[in-house]
Amino acid sequence: MKESEMFRANKILEANKKKLENGEIYIESVGKLIKETDDITFEIRRLKRENENLTETNDQKINDLQKKLIETEVILKETLTKSNKDQIQANCGWAHWRNMPDQLILPPNTLEQIKEKYIENQSRYIKTAFSLKLSPIKKDLEDKVIELDGAKMVPQDRKFEYKYTGGNL
């Protein structure tokens, strides 16, 4: 090592000793650490803002895809309807119309009516928890075994269904 280099190295060593004695080296370290925490905090804030923007963007993409799905299902339904078939089996799935049972619509006072009119058959129509047993009520209404004011059978439209099974087109 050259004399000038040794001289410079000793000067640096003495300066660092003075800094250590005066606590300057700690001040430097603390300053660097404070700066690092500020940088980290800034990065966290930046990432949170970016995340909010991404969330908004993803929410918009999801909404767009949901609209596209609804539109595609409408076209699929129309296509099946135009085919004049109840079902179509494709390599990648199927679409069909499923017949739905008639919907039973009962007036709010049905429970009271059954309690008054059909005392002997209450257990057939009323659950222990005092709710209606819809299947036997529906069957007996259809068979005209019982009569409930305001109760009626309403035919339901067929329900459209489809399934993608993963096959090739």
β-partners of residue 132 are 126
When the pLDDT of each residue in the chain is averaged and rounded to a whole number, the result is 85
β-partners of residue 89 are 94
Structure tokens at 138: 């529906």
CA distances, 158 to each of 31, 50, 81, 138, 161 (Å): 74, 47, 12, 19, 10
Q: How confident is the model at residue 34 (pLDDT cuts 50, 70, 90)?
A: confident
Q: How confident is the model at residue 161 (pLDDT cuts 50, 70, 90)?
A: confident
H or E element: which one contains 45?
A: helix 24-82
Q: Domain spans of the chain?
A: 3-82, 87-164
List helix spans (H) across 83-154.
110-117, 122-125, 134-142
Query: Phi/psi at 98 (nearest 5 deg)?
Result: -105, 125
pLDDT tens, position by position, 108-130? 999 999 999 999 988 899 886 67
Portion of the chain with pLDDT greater than 70, in percent: 80
pTM of the model: 0.48
